[in-house]
Amino acid sequence: MANIVEIENLTKYYEKGSVKALNGINLTIEEGEFVAIMGPSGSGKSTLLNMIGALDRGDKGKIIVDGHNLLSKKDLSTFRSQTIGFVFQLDNLLPMLSSIENIELPAYESKTSSDEMRKKALELLKSVGLEDKAKFSPVKLSGGERQRIAVARALINSPSIILADEPTGSLDSDNSQKIIQLLKDLHEKENITLIIVTHDSNVANQSNRIINILDGKVVNDSN
């Protein structure tokens, strides 16, 4: 299998260098892997995810994601919307839009027609078990339901990689497991590469590989 993520000596500083969030990360991830990233608060997990998802740019080293060199690439936003699906701890759904419109939102900039987009959004809504909530505002849904909408939203542009930063951090254990099962099903059926940051060892133990980060470095990597 090809490497979908290749990181060499990646460094990311904040505050003019006084905060070394990533301090020489070396890591390769193959297409179709399900990887959990663990480590204490402040160790650099979200920073690493943000580098892979091109939400922010590293300072030094090398990071190639799905064939794109992210330290030199000019247009990161097109790369991001075509390649990456994001799921965060808080769902960030927009309350003035319906559930289905929230799912469609990341596709507005793509060339997809609105009919096609609606069809795909409906399929996704079905796959997360919420087809009856299409017209509801997210404020009328439970936390677990909202997070399922967020997962559907992450999939609308058919990403090759899903980056999930503590996707179950605000959920109880039942809803947590539902979200993880959803992500696992996708990973298995569609061969999507799944990278999840989590503090929950129940979540991490369902992955194929656990990477531990400490002080901006990989300290353990177990397949």
Interaction between residue 15 and ligand ATP (CB under 6 A): yes
CA distances from 211 to 110, 137, 208 (A): 34, 37, 10
Q: Segment contacting ligand ATP (CB under 6 A): 11-19, 62-70, 74-82, 111-119? A: 11-19
Shortest distance in whole angstroms from residue 67 CB to ligand ATP: 25
CA distances from 98 to 57, 136, 150, 153 (A): 33, 5, 12, 12
Nearer to ligand ATP, 39 or 106 (CB): 39
19 to 48, contacts with ligand ATP by CB under 6 A? 19, 21, 39, 41-47
219 binds, among ligand ATP, Mg ion, none (CB under 5 to 8 A by kind): none
Q: Which of 22, 29, 39, 46 binds Mg ion (CB under 5 A)?
A: 46
Task: Please state, in angstroms and rounded to a whole number, the distance separating the CA atoms of residues 204 and 180.
Answer: 10
Nearer to Mg ion, 46 or 102 (CB): 46
Task: Please state, in angstroms and rounded to a whole number, the distance separating the CA atoms of residues 110 and 126.
Answer: 22
Q: Segment contacting ligand ATP (CB under 6 A): 1-9, 14-22, 147-155, 178-186? A: 14-22
Tally the C-alpha atoms within 13 A of residue 101's C-alpha that lie toward its C-beta.
9
Task: Please state, in angstroms and rounded to a whole number, the distance separating the CA atoms of residues 131 and 55.
Answer: 31
Q: What is the Cα gyration radius of the chain?
A: 17
Q: Segment contacting Mg ion (CB under 5 A): 44-52, 53-61, 119-127, 167-175? A: 44-52
Give the residues lining the site for ligand ATP (CB under 6 A). 14-15, 19, 21, 39, 41-47
